[in-house]
Amino acid sequence: MSSTKKLPQRKCVGCQNSFHKRELIRIVKSEEGIFVDPTGKKNGRGAYICKKLDCLETAYKRKNLERSFKCKVDENVYQNLREELSRLEGKASN
């Protein structure tokens, strides 16, 4: 356990803690809108969030996603993100 190599870390828009990219879910803002990008490969501006609905609710309340994307985030975007995250959350606990 003496690895000195640092893996890239990203900050969760919810809890504001840094995690390895792999542990977070990428949210992307593209021309098609804002959505969860499980592959992390879609073009567009990205933000990262834990696979936790709690973090999404925090980001929602504090408007961190708006700040991150520098634009208004519609209510239905959050609804989609909630659905995606609850799916992922369910998968993780299985």
53 interacts with Zn ion by CB under 5 A: no
12 interacts with Zn ion by CB under 5 A: yes
What ranges make up the beta strands (E) of 1-94?
9-11, 18-20, 24-30, 33-37, 45-50
CA 20 to chain centre: 12
88 interacts with Zn ion by CB under 5 A: no
Which residue stretch of 34-42, 47-55, 59-67, 84-92 sits at the interface with Zn ion (rule: CB under 5 A)? Answer: 47-55
Closer residue to Zn ion (CB): 5 or 77 = 77
Contact footprint for Zn ion (CB under 5 A) = 12, 14-15, 50, 55
